A and B are shown apart, each in its own frame.
Chain A
């Protein structure tokens, strides 16, 4: 019995936070805003607690399993949620319905925990829905904004459609093999036509959730319409969780179909990098720009997934950790500026350095890391991703990925130039950054620099994977 509590410790912690928020919502008479520091404290405790008493095991007839690696991946997600609660505190303070926002975010986080722990297609489907339905409500959190409702509508329809396609794939897999458990599926999957068809449906749903190119069109609209807290959640946490389970499913369950998915991944990753980058070039709105840049980043993750085994898993986990820091720092700066001044256009960022040197430096570090410039961790992340992708000798793919890094360098540096060098008659006025947001930004910047310099971190991830995968 005590095993049960230890194995599900992280899920139970998030559930406890959800109950706490429910009670705050129902019983709380005082102003909701006063609860923000407490909620942030709880999220921090949730993140720290994730490192202790890690136990591996399976529950519910193999529907749920966990181990050190999954606990580490869940910690990355908890860290991201904590950082979002810090960085968007200005926006959150203004909101009347603060507990609801965290309620939805924690429900979705719980779904993602169960998603990466799932050992069964039923559990997988249920947790995917738990992870994605609350996000649609979060996207519509600014009820009176026209673009918010439009973005939320696009998100809920796309995610409903994607899960319908996913289910059709699962039903065919069930029909062809008679089992929905990952472990027994791994033994019976073969490349007969019905199973390949089922796999293609299944794969398509994943590409929707990861916003891989033919199915990326919702991304920019949702990112632009939704409040920045939701946008950063969608782009970092949601994408990270789906990437983790995507690798597990491909390498463990559909390993016999490797010849099928290898070429699918190669084509999709080239398309994703190229189109993500080319569209990012012409964006004017900073949120849309970050949306397309995150599409391009997914392309690089796919390059790593084309490789095999431990290297790919380790590089993707490491990259997602860095991506949490760098993307959240970029979104954090955008959130602070947009909340205080309402400015979201890249042109309006011109001359930001004159008035807001701290924010400018944070934005610059984040963008350097996203672009992959050496002293920052982003460089090592990209390096490991491309190294992992090259083990099968497909050097054309690596060459294309390298060229895409050059394109991405151009548009990231374009923003840095606008911030530091371009002159502007009326730049963004001096913005007062509150303590929480400042702390969040400093954590992100420290993470960006240290994650690259501390070598043992990558070795630690690799070791976790060799033990548990």
Chain B
């Protein structure tokens, strides 16, 4: 069995990126939209790791970058979920369509 190469991993990460983007634009549930963003971030992580392993094995920037991205994504998700909970309290819903007071 052959182990996957750079192309396969890049294909997966690009697919994840666009799945995440599609989800972000089409899903109406705020939690799902947040999950879509996490998908995009994970595709970036895959990218960094793959480039680090296959293209620049002597430059560890990619690996460190991934660690930081995971930490920051957690912080971002924490704030986003706090805001969503507050939105739920005032709107009784986590649907994007319910938050439509501000327009034009």
Contacts and interface: CB of A to CB of B under 8 A. Distances in A.
Interface of A: 121-122, 125-126, 129, 133, 136-137, 140, 143-147, 149-154, 156-157, 160-161, 163-165, 167-168, 170-172, 174-175, 178-180, 220-221, 224-225
A149 B65 contact: no
A117 B90 CA distance: 40
Nearest to A168: B44
A133 B75 contact: yes
B17 A174 contact: no
Given A140-B86, A221-B102, 9 more contacts: A136-B80, A137-B83, A140-B82, A168-B40, A174-B56, A174-B65, A175-B51, A178-B55, A178-B59
A249 B67 CA distance: 24
Contacts of A168: 17, 40, 43-44, 47
A179 B61 contact: yes
Nearest to B88: A149
B47 A172 contact: yes
Query: Interface residues of B: mostly helix, strand, loop or mixed?
Result: helix
A172 B10 CA distance: 10
Contacts of A170: 44, 65
A157 B80 contact: yes
B47 A171 contact: yes
Interface of B: 17, 20, 24, 30, 33-34, 37, 40-41, 43-44, 47-48, 50-51, 55-56, 59, 61-62, 64-65, 68-69, 72, 75-76, 79-80, 82-84, 86-87, 90-91, 99-104
Given A156-B79, A157-B33, A164 B64 contact: no
A180 B61 contact: yes
Contact of B68 (A125, A137, A144, A146): A125
A418 B100 CA distance: 29
In the A-B complex, the 7 residue pairs with the smallest Cβ-Cβ separation, listed nearest first, are A171-B47, A175-B51, A164-B40, A221-B102, A150-B99, A178-B56, A167-B44
Contacts, number: 122
A431 to B, nearest CB: 26
A171 B61 CA distance: 10
A65 B6 CA distance: 35
Contact of A164 (B41, B56, B62, B65): B41
B102 A140 contact: no
A432 to B, nearest CB: 30
B76 A122 contact: no
Contacts of A147: 101-102
Contacts of B48: 171, 174
Nearest to A149: B87
B97 to A, nearest CB: 12
Nearest to A126: B68
Contacts of A171: 44, 47-48, 51, 62, 65
Contacts of A149: 83, 86-87, 90-91, 99
Contact of A153 (B37, B69, B83): B83
Contacts of B68: 122, 125-126
A174 B51 contact: yes
B103 to A, nearest CB: 8
A427 B8 CA distance: 68
10 contacts: A122-B64, A125-B68, A125-B69, A136-B80, A140-B83, A157-B34, A168-B47, A170-B44, A171-B65, A221-B103
B99 A167 contact: no
B27 to A, nearest CB: 11
Contacts of B24: 161
Contacts of A161: 24, 37, 40
Nearest to A143: B86
A191 B73 CA distance: 31
A144 B50 CA distance: 46
Contact of A179 (B37, B59, B72, B99): B59
A221 B99 CA distance: 11
